[in-house]
Amino acid sequence: MATFAFEGIDLYYEDHGEGEPLLILNGIFMSCASWKAFVPAFSRHNRLLLLDLVDQGASGKVDHDYTQEIQERAVLALLDELGLEKVAICGISYGGEVALRVAGRHPERVSRLVLSNTCAYTSHWLRDIGRSWEYAMASHDGHQFFKTCIPVVYSPAFYEARHAWAAAREELFVAYFTPEVYDAFARLTRSAETHDERANLATVTMPTIVISSEHDHVTPLADQEEIVRALPRAGHVLIRDCGHAAMYEKPAEFTSIVLGFVNSDTEIVVD
């Protein structure tokens, strides 16, 4: 839809609908295009903002490593570009880490916060999963990338039932992903290694909902429960029979939770 200049990088974003603004931040392998099927529902009563972070999707790629601080600055730059003082933010996994960083350091810019399948810090478990992904990305081989990185983000039951769909996605990755894309994924993965927002959780004072999945093998439930206990105004929803990619496995439940929470005018949250 549009781009804006950020520190010499063109960042891609989409702006749909009218109403209270809701910004969605992508998981590490996602992009604005990942939300195409969700746009009608999410923009029916809200101004839906989608953003490809640095090295994601249609946004510019860089040639150096960085930390998630650059993504924090990118989010604030988008809000300033659009003249928005405050928005609700929904962050998915990597995007949830960035959202948590923005909310903890700039709580005046966030009205409500949704953290889906997100950790407060990168544990040894998550770091080593990320490093296994890096090895696969370095091969620039779509089959190796897919087999290493993708099955773990789904629940076993979903992956088994949708295996034909998954196989088609594997062939799509092989056909369209370039070395530039794999190198960008690797930089994104490395940027999360230093993620640790535990010291800032007390300053995340806006109403927050944490969405967890029963069979999340990337960001385990216990890590998300730690966030819920530490945040001053957090509720918690557990989606049963679901893996890390909750928005894909349970789209109706995911959409209902996010929109119901973001558009609520009360302090009531589900726990």
Please, which residues have CB within 8 angstroms of residue 25's CB and are 6 or more apart in sequence?
A: 51, 53, 75, 89, 90, 91, 92, 94, 95, 96, 98, 99
Give residue 270's pLDDT band: very low, low, confident or very high (50, 70, 90).
very low
67 burial via Cβ count (<10 Å: 0-12, 13-18, 19+): middle
CA-to-CA dists, residue 175 to 9, 134, 142, 169, angstroms: 26, 20, 8, 10
Spatial contact of 179 and 205, defined as CB atoms under 8 Å apart? no
Query: Mind giving me the DSSP string for 168-209?
Result: HHHHHHHHH--HHHHHHHHHHHHHTTT-B-GGGGGG--S-EE
The two tokens of residue 110 are: 């966030």
Spatial contact of 213 and 116, defined as CB atoms under 8 Å apart? no
**DSSP bridge pairs for 80:** none
pLDDT in tens, 216-254: 999 999 999 999 999 999 999 999 999 999 999 999 999
Q: Which amino acid is at 40?
A: P
Spatial contact of 99 and 111, defined as CB atoms under 8 Å apart? no
The two tokens of residue 223 are: 């890590």
21 burial via Cβ count (<10 Å: 0-12, 13-18, 19+): buried
The two tokens of residue 139 are: 């091969």
pLDDT in tens, 170-192: 998 899 899 999 999 999 999 99
Spatial contact of 115 and 96, defined as CB atoms under 8 Å apart? yes
pLDDT in tens, 91-142: 999 999 999 999 999 999 999 999 999 999 999 999 999 999 999 999 999 9
CA-to-CA dists, residue 224 to 93, 198, 216, angstroms: 11, 12, 10
pTM more than 0.85? yes
Longest alpha-carbon distance in the chain: 50
Whether 267 has a pLDDT exceeding 70, the answer reads no
Q: Structural domains in the chain?
A: 2-122+195-262 (3.40.50.1820)
CA-to-CA dists, residue 6 to 74, 89, 103, angstroms: 7, 20, 20
